[in-house]
Amino acid sequence: MLKQFIDKPVLSTVVSILIVILGLLGLMALPVSQYPDIAPPTVSIRTNFPGANAETVLESVIIPIEEQVNGVEDMDYITSTASNDGTANIQVFFNQGVDPDIAAVNVQNRVARANPLLPREVVQAGVITQKQQTSSLMFFTLVSDNPEYDATYIQNYLNINVIPALKRIKGVGDVTVFGAKNYAMRIWLQPEKLAAYDLMPADVTAAINEQSLEAAAGSLGQNNAETFEYVIKYGGRYKNESQYEDIVIKALGNGQFLRLRDLAEIEMDAEAYSVMSFTNGNPGVSMAVYQTPGSNAQEIINDVKASLSEMEQRFPAGLSLFINFDTNDFLNASISKVVVTLIEAFLLVFLVVFIFLQDFRSTLIPAISVPVSIIGTFFFLNLFGYSINLLTLFALVLAIGIVVDDAIVVVEAVHAKMEEGAKSARKATHKAMEEITGAIISITLVMGAVFIPVTFITGPTGVFYEQFGVTLMVAIGISAINALTLSPALCAILLKPHHQKSDKKKGLLKKFFIGFNQAFEITTGKYIRSLKFLYRHKWITAVIIFGAVGAIIWAAQNTPTGFVPDEDRGMIFANIELPEGASLDRTVGITDELMEGLDQIPGIMGGSMVMALV
């Protein structure tokens, strides 16, 4: 069978071209990310209990939900937080490899069991259950330098005009808003007036719910021998202050009514005052964009930027966009650096092979085989659902030095046969392949066996090693195919018997090769003499082995450990915690001092964002 590839080089060429085409198709379809998706599937449960403090939220909301959700299928662990603004947030983490969609459905079913146990206000506000990505692609802020537009206005503008458009972008999993609250009708009750009229806040709430509501009013004239049927429309919930001011609380007699404006001050403002955010000293609302699993981070960020650039042209006067953090900047720098390393490695391998073989035709064979193996690997990466990331690219860099060996073995074997007197390169190739085919297959199986155990590691660490190991195994496998098909065919075509070769190397190149060969022979002689010395003094070899083992053990115990290396992205997060009970105004004052200090630090580019929470 292998003789067919040697005698019919077109067949070998077609196989290699097919591998390259499939690899290029996989390369165009592969997503690009910094690291593999190692974060475990996470489902977020969020709700709000208006007016409740953290302890009340914990006991009346979080505990009932946790009791029902705990133990859901494939769950790893669960965390929860409660805040004094009535917000409850529960994170459910699942084992690696669990389908996030199925996990979200299972959690939703468990949350439905807890709904009857929750306060009525929480059920009315809604309990939101959704899958969540833990790593954000980018942060950006909409900033206002117009005094007419505060953070609440910006939040409302984002909810209507920006966030829906961003969520429709392919690959965007969620857009989270920080630092502001939506518009709400705020009713400030006056306790002394409530006491004068013998009322309680619950009475006011009941009156509002009775008169400001969405109702199905029905229709008139159905099946009543009428010419027309009339649909009755109801105005629905009130939308402005005057409507709320006219709400009747109770009848006072003599045709007089107590209205809401008699008991309270009413204004349209932020839903809560627990958060204030500033960017470069101006009101601003920040957002984070999250991606869906397996999506292309670079493509998503580019699409988000294009959409924001288009929407920015329609922003009201005084609103501007400020990008706080963009993963693409670091991702592009990292990927491009690895790609440059990949190209440098290929050129160095080509140069080393040329120096040792000292024949351009012989060097051309591994120079053709290596790109075929590397490019073809991308097809299988796409087939396995991997991505182009630092781990897979690093594996390809390492693979260059491994896959070139197969081609070199074939070339050297053919040269050996021609030195023994083979009359043609084709006959020499046939004889060489009869001898080394088994060796090539054995080398491939041994190299594959080295990385097979890596694929069985579980957890987030296993994701890293799996993609690294599988990438290497695929590249080595394709290299073996090339060594059995393409490389022999190229040897039969390109190489010439030694008696037909003429030394055309002249000048500096010839002098370089003569000097290199002499130096290599001298180095080889010294190496052989050192081996003889070590053979006569075997105890030195044992000392070297034990010393190396001891050095490895010492280095393993003293070298700092970590999962992902720390890398400088040019961004610093600072957290300031004030004593318990500190007011928002006090927090804002401290953050203002922080902002003033940041402005004095040289090297800060773009600006700073400060968010105060209570």
Residue 90 has what pLDDT?
A: 92
Q: Is the pLDDT of residue 571 over 60?
A: yes
In terms of domains, do 424 and 338 share one?
yes
Give me the chain's average pLDDT, please. 83
Residue 159 has what pLDDT?
A: 87
Total structural domains within the chain: 4
Residue 403 has what pLDDT?
A: 83
R_g over Cα of the chain: 36
pLDDT tens-digit map of 112-122:
999 999 998 88
Residue 609 has what pLDDT?
A: 53
> Is the residue at 280 inside a domain?
no
Domain that holds residue 388: 2-35+331-502
In terms of domains, do 488 and 527 share one?
no
In terms of domains, do 427 and 460 share one?
yes
Which residue stretches of 384-422 are H helix? 390-419
> Is the residue at 7 inside a domain?
yes
Q: Is the pLDDT of residue 548 over 90?
A: yes
Identify whether the C-beta of residue 43 lies closer than 8 Å to the C-beta of residue 129: yes
> Is the residue at 321 inside a domain?
no
Residue 68 has what pLDDT?
A: 92
- How far is it, in rounded angstroms, from Cα 181 to Cα 274? 9
Q: Is the pLDDT of residue 485 over 70?
A: yes
Residue 180 has what pLDDT?
A: 64
In terms of domains, do 22 and 48 share one?
no
> What percent of the chain shows pLDDT beyond 90?
15
pLDDT tens-digit map of 331-388:
777 778 778 887 887 888 788 888 887 788 888 888 888 889 889 999 999 998 888 8
- How far is it, in rounded angstroms, from Cα 151 to Cα 584? 15
Mean pLDDT to the nearest integer, 228-241: 82
Q: Is the pLDDT of residue 52 over 90?
A: no
Residue 18 has what pLDDT?
A: 93
> Is the residue at 73 inside a domain?
yes
In terms of domains, do 398 and 463 share one?
yes
In terms of domains, do 525 and 444 share one?
no
The secondary structure of 137-167 as a DSSP string is EEEEEEEE-STT--HHHHHHHIIIIIHHHHH
pLDDT tens-digit map of 294-321:
678 888 888 999 999 999 888 888 888 8
CATH of the domain at 223: 3.30.2090.10
> Is the residue at 529 inside a domain?
yes
Domain boundary among 253, 270, 287: 270
Q: Is the pLDDT of residue 573 over 90?
A: no
**What is the band of 545 on the pLDDT scale with cuts at 50, 70, 90?**
very high
Q: Is the pLDDT of residue 611 over 60?
A: no
**What is the band of 613 on the pLDDT scale with cuts at 50, 70, 90?**
low
In terms of domains, do 375 and 467 share one?
yes
What's the predicted TM-score (pTM) here? 0.70
Q: Is the pLDDT of residue 509 over 80?
A: no
Q: Is the pLDDT of residue 464 over 80?
A: no
Q: Is the pLDDT of residue 569 over 70?
A: no
Mean pLDDT to the nearest integer, 504-514: 74
Identify whether the C-beta of residue 373 lies closer than 8 Å to the C-beta of residue 487: no
> What percent of the chain shows pLDDT beyond 70?
93
Q: Is the pLDDT of residue 553 over 90?
A: yes
Identify whether the C-beta of residue 394 lies closer than 8 Å to the C-beta of residue 468: yes
Range with the lowest mean pLDDT among 384-398, 540-554, 586-600? Answer: 586-600
| Count of beta carbons in the 10 Å neighbourhood of residue 516 | 13
> Is the residue at 594 inside a domain?
no
Range with the lowest mean pLDDT among 238-247, 254-263, 372-381, 576-585? Answer: 576-585
Q: Is the pLDDT of residue 3 over 80?
A: no
In terms of domains, do 233 and 89 share one?
no
In terms of domains, do 470 and 354 share one?
yes
In terms of domains, do 211 and 74 share one?
no
CATH of the domain at 93: 3.30.70.1430
Domain boundary among 502, 525, 546: 502
Q: Is the pLDDT of residue 608 over 60?
A: no
Range with the lowest mean pLDDT among 282-291, 372-381, 469-478? Answer: 282-291
- How far is it, in rounded angstroms, from Cα 299 to Cα 292? 12
Q: Which residue has the higher pLDDT, 357 or 206?
A: 206
In terms of domains, do 361 and 345 share one?
yes
CATH of the domain at 418: 1.20.1640.10
Listed in order, strand segments (DSSP E) in 64-182 are 75-82, 87-94, 128-132, 136-144, 172-178
Strands 87-94, 609-613: pairing kind: unpaired
pLDDT tens-digit map of 57-94:
999 999 999 999 998 998 989 999 988 778 899 999 98
Q: Judging by beta carbons within 10 Å of its beta carbon (0-12, 13-18, 19+), is residue 522 exposed, middle or buried?
A: exposed
Identify whether the C-beta of residue 324 lies closer than 8 Å to the C-beta of residue 609: yes
Residue 61 has what pLDDT?
A: 92
> Is the residue at 140 inside a domain?
no
pLDDT tens-digit map of 387-422:
888 888 888 888 888 888 888 888 888 888 888 877
Q: Is the pLDDT of residue 477 over 70?
A: yes
In terms of domains, do 408 and 529 share one?
no
> Is the residue at 219 inside a domain?
yes
The secondary structure of 480-521 as a DSSP string is HHHHHTHHHHHHHHH---GGG------HHHHHHHHHHHHHHH
Q: Is the pLDDT of residue 552 over 90?
A: yes
Residue 590 has what pLDDT?
A: 81
